[in-house]
Amino acid sequence: MHEADIKNYDVSYGKELILNTSKYFGPKGSISQNSNGMNCTNCHLDGGSRDFGNNFKAVSLSLLLLKSTNSNRIYSL
């Protein structure tokens, strides 16, 4: 797999987790059964991309800050 394909897959998988959290982590989740069955989108509107909708913009800014202070470490969302 090319690096661009891996990044596209990671982004798609992340979006799938945000949109369908309970499928993977809900009471009958395929990865773990340790949540209340709500999806992240119950609180993070439009998959966390809507302004004033409890978005994830601050997370990405925090990640950039961590990367700049620890350049020899790899981080991921």
The full set of domain ranges for the chain reads 1-41, 43-77
Cα angle 41, 16, 26; round to 5: 65
**What per-residue confidence (pLDDT) applies to 55?**
87
Round to whole Å and give the CA distance between 44 and 38: 11
First to last CA, the chain: 20
Per-10-residue mean pLDDT for the chain, 77 residues long? 84 91 92 90 90 82 60 54
